Amino acid sequence: MHLKNIRLASAGLLLALGAGMAQAQDAHPAPKRPFELPPSADLNYDLSARQRGFSLKGEAIIAWRAGEGRYSVRAESRVAVLGTITDDRSQGAIDAYGLAPAEFWEKRLRKSPTTTTFERASKTLSFSESEQTYPLKGGEQDRVSVTWQLAAVARAAGDRFKPGSEWPFFVAGRRDAETWTFRVVKREKVKTGLGELDAVLLERLPLPDDKDQTLQVWLAPEREWYPVKLRFTDGDKETIEQTVKTITRQ
């Protein structure tokens, strides 16, 4: 099996993968919502991937830190023999919108790293992998930070975070940016390494150029709304799943 045939998700909770290379939409939401950031923690996940009959198992590790007006996330995925497959990092400030990334850094096995820059002085979003730029309006996220912005919004939303409600974010990847809208589906029990947890299931609405892709996120209210499970599918071609096994508060 060639690794290039498995588009493994990063420990950025599959979100670093889930957008593909779709063109940006015209919509650029900049909602200012109440938020409450989850406490700093290290999260460890079991990771499994399957594509065209091949399977691969490993682990995903996230180091989430927030405090004193700053945040950082480092997300890695690893498999036996090959070692680290992905290494994604996001860091920046905390402002009136929540997380305000300054830089998103992404590294894939056997590929050079890429950098997405949120230049606050010039209010410009730019990419090392393309000439595309966007204006910064406030609230923009990257593929790693958006998970934690989503959790922060959920923690503060109360009864408004209910089935059927939708939560849009403008999300930057390695080459461009687009609107991701998450819909709250339902509450359900999830089996994890921490036991059975009560969780809220969210699904990202289909992207215009990737309608066969689905992305599901389970947030656990009793565990500070940390993401405890994620699943990415690309039609019947690929499935990638992460399930939490340990959470260590920092």
Residue 215: strand, helix, or coil = strand
Residue 217 has which token pair? 């996120």
pLDDT at 135 over 60: yes
CB 215 within 8 A of CB 63: no
Ranges 16-20, 84-88, 140-144, 186-190: which has the least confidence: 16-20
pLDDT value at residue 182: 97
pLDDT value at residue 217: 96
Pairing of strands 41-51, 114-119: unpaired
pLDDT confidence of 117, banded at 50, 70, 90? Answer: very high
pLDDT value at residue 80: 78
Residue 219 has which token pair? 């947030």
CA of 180: how far to CAs of 99, 131, 213, in Å?
16, 22, 13
pLDDT digits (tens, 9 = 90+) for 2-43: 444 344 444 444 554 444 433 444 579 888 999 999 999 999
pLDDT digits (tens, 9 = 90+) for 40-53: 999 999 999 886 77
The residue that leads in pLDDT, 235 or 30, is 30
pLDDT value at residue 43: 98
Q: What is the CA radius of gyration of the chain?
A: 17
The residue that leads in pLDDT, 184 or 14, is 184
- Enclosing H/E stretch for 30: none
- When pLDDT is averaged across residues 45-64 and rounded to a whole number, the result is 88
pLDDT digits (tens, 9 = 90+) for 82-110: 778 889 999 999 999 999 999 999 998 88
pLDDT value at residue 14: 55
pLDDT confidence of 234, banded at 50, 70, 90? Answer: confident
pLDDT value at residue 18: 47
Pairing of strands 141-142, 130-135: unpaired
Share of the chain above pLDDT 70, in %: 88
Other CB atoms within 10 Å distance of the CB of residue 38: 19
Q: Tell me what the pLDDT averaged over the chain comes to.
A: 88
Ranges 42-46, 53-57, 152-156: which has the least confidence: 53-57
What would the CATH number be for the domain defined by 3-249?
2.40.360
Strand ranges (DSSP E) for 80-113?
83-95, 98-108
